[in-house]
Amino acid sequence: MVGKTLLHYRIVSKLGAGGQGAVYEAVNTKLERTVVVKVLPPELTANEINLARFEREAKLASSLDHPNICAIHDLAFAEGVHFIVMQRVEGSDVRELVNGRPLELKTALSIAIQVCDALAAAHARGIVHRDIKANNVMVTSDGKAKVLDFGLAKLLEQDGPNITDDQRKHLTEVGKPYGTATYAAPEQAQGLPADHRADIFSTGVLLYEMLVGKWPFDGKTAVHVRYAVVNEPARRLADARPSPTPARLQEILDRAIAKDPQDRYQKITEMRDDLRAVLRQLELEDNPEYQEDVAPFAPRRLAQPGRITRSLDSVAARTRTSRKVVAIGALSLAALIVIPIIVYSVRHWPALTTSSAVALRLHGSNTIGAKLAPSLVEAFLKKQGAASIRIIAGANPDEALVSALMPGNASPIIVEINAHGSSTAFADLVNSRADIGLSSRRIESDEIQKLTSLGDMTLPASEHILGLDGIAVIVNRENSIDSLTREQVARIFSGEITDWSQVQGPRSAIKIFARDDKSGTFDSFKALVLRNAKLASSATRFEDSAALSDAVAREPGGIGFIGLPYIRDAKAVAISEGNAPPLVPNTLTVSTEDYLLSRRLYLYTPPHSQNVWVSKFVEFALSGEGQQIVAQNGFIAQNVNSQNASVAQNAPAEYKRLTTGAERLSLNFRFRRGGRELDNKAQLDLDRVVSFVADLKFTGQNILLFGFADDGMGTDLEISKERAALVAEQFKHRGITPAVVTGFGSTIPIASSASEEGREKNRRVELWLKR
């Protein structure tokens, strides 16, 4: 995105990213004014609910003309992206100002008062922010605070006459606690309706953070934090802040962050006025000659300790009631799922996930499990007629539950998704902790051996190709390097090459970023690139793909490897080996597996699973509808398409003649390792091609098959023709006789045949379509 121009806004640099999109600094070329552009990720625009939420953020914020609210200049669509243009606020956010240390007392009070002023303007218009936090409050060099991001804002009244009830529900409800865990009010933590008093709670938390340097409610995970917000009192200022504060400030905080909304300030202006009184008192104490004019401080109806105790009791009572209703299966789904998970302590999570309500357990690859698996499960459950589908974050950021109500059932079913790495897929299948293994690499020989009690995991009944991905080698966009050989990549990541100038790049130290040891992406990278070499000890390791990509995008000398959907704002370089031309990872090069670092994404299942949901889910995931979900999540689907493709200059003349005017189909047929039988992917691809040809009203006369072999067999031309003939025979069984079936030996390699992996790449059958 950096360097592009959207309408008359030239993107200069990336500032950050959040759940609603990436944020960039840009220049309005018409007015020569620096602005901020917030872009909705392209993969989300297909979802009208996300798009409506994004557009509503702009409309809500633009309706608020206040000096403490970041101004919205424009809402637009260009170059295939939807974006908001906002005021550029020069300064630091409160998180950067605090950085683990308390702010000066009057500075903290001044910022909090300005936040109250901003919220007072919003509340007066019926708008609740619902995500007040340190990252969303910018402070300029002259001390002016600006509230950002009304992405979770909600009109107290209806959103408008043209929005459906279902859309209105989804615009402000995602089936899980909303807001940021460390700032969200107890009612938000429980997924319950919230009004303007939730903003008052969050502002109290923000004030506490500025006064202490820490949050009042803490925990190792978001679940711990939300449990503390609902059930535990905040540490008192006298015990938490190193320097003393006025006693009246503790009273204000007690009231602002009371558990029960009824015990809080009922208006943000009341909190603001009390804070102003404290600040005024401090200022006058610095000028004793004016103290005689000071009126005594008298806050309005501050919550007393007894009131707070009763508030805790009322929350506990509501929780007990909710649990009772859950037991009889009559509570709404939001309460059914959110309250047991969020209000219970973390130890209840395992009990929930191992209960009889868990219909399906998907464990393994983070590449698949982070986004793709939840999306597939949600679409699959809809296909089964489910309603009230909710995705709930787990105690660990790589864990989630998907809950749904099936027709005729009062109680929900739950699908468990744990995404801790491909190796955990096979470990959990062995120990019967998973029904389906998610893997971004092929099962290894020792894993096959450990799973023999379940059957042969390499047969089509067990090994299912979900989609295709490419391991992109990414660098900073400012790096002049556009291509590397596989050997160079290996030497860089092993630490042998340490400066970009060693590979004809700028004179700059190389900084390596890599996925962690549990990652299937790392396993694939080791097999495809590092091989016998070891990753440099200086590499910074990541469990999360997006975090790795963003780190490379921020680091001028950075290099990393990542799955295609996570290239984000980094730059993917072309990769080559031997005599093969360098190829960048894109839809065609990955779908045909010509790209050197392309890989398959797998679902592994026991061949004789007794769980009926297993076969249903796999069938859906491999269907055309399921593959559309794969594509929507940034991976390469296996739905067949055709497109124009360039032909290598050194290709045989006959190959060039036959492909003139033809389009290449988005797949190659490959064979089982060490044999001449088509592999598991090819078995389904045959039927996909037949459906594609039939839909176009074409016949076999439109199909061209070209076989290829590696260069180490001596009889490569004959073998390449034999491979093409094997595929042609399978098509004939399906009623299609290809027009051309021939082979070209080893004349157009896509990898070096010096390795077994390279030879397997070169052993293929291409499909072309003559319209």
User: Which of the residues are catalytic?
Assistant: 131
Could you please report the per-residue DSSP string of 172-231?
A: H--SS--S-TTT--HHHHTT----HHHHHHHHHHHHHHHHHSS-SS--SSHHHHHHHHHH
Q: Are 436 and 618 in contact (CB under 8 A)?
A: yes
DSSP alpha helix (H) spans, 340-371: 348-353, 366-369
Q: Are 545 and 366 in contact (CB under 8 A)?
A: yes
What's the rounded Cα separation, in Å, for the pair 585 and 592?
11
What's the rounded Cα separation, in Å, for the pair 196 and 261?
10
CB within 8 Å of 423: residues ≥ 6 apart: 518, 520, 523
Nearest Cα to 174, choosing from 184, 182, 645, 64? 184
Q: Report residue 401 as tokens.
A: 């539950």
How far apart, in Å, do the first and last CA atoms of the chain sit?
36
Q: Are 179 and 131 in contact (CB under 8 A)?
A: yes
What angle in degrees, to the nearest 10, is found between the helix axes of 268-285 and 105-124?
150
Q: How many CA atoms lie within 13 A of 766 on its CB side?
A: 26
Q: Report residue 40 as tokens.
A: 């909705």
Helix or strand run (H / E) with residue 102 = none
Nearest Cα to 342, choosing from 448, 249, 224? 224
Burial class of residue 380, CB neighbours in 10 A (0-12, 13-18, 19+): buried
Q: Are 115 and 210 in contact (CB under 8 A)?
A: no
Q: How many CA atoms lie within 13 A of 191 on its CB side?
A: 27
CB within 8 Å of 641: residues ≥ 6 apart: 665, 666, 692
Q: How many CA atoms lie within 13 A of 87 on its CB side?
A: 20
Give the CA angle between residues 272, 273, 274 to the nearest 5°: 95
Nearest Cα to 548, choosing from 532, 525, 582? 525
Q: Using DSSP, state whether 63 is helix, strand or coil.
A: coil
CB within 8 Å of 404: residues ≥ 6 apart: 381, 386, 387, 388, 389, 390, 412, 413, 415
Beta strands in 40-98 (DSSP E): 72-78, 81-87, 92-93
Q: How far is CA 59 from CA 27, 62, 85, 396, 510, in A?
A: 22, 5, 12, 35, 44
Name the phi and psi angles at 96, rounded to 5: -70, -35
Which residues lie across from 601 on neighbouring strands? 467
Q: Using DSSP, state whether 156 is helix, strand or coil.
A: coil
What's the rounded Cα separation, in Å, for the pair 443 and 605?
12
- Residue identified by tokens 């550029």 is 88
- Residue identified by tokens 């309408």 is 7
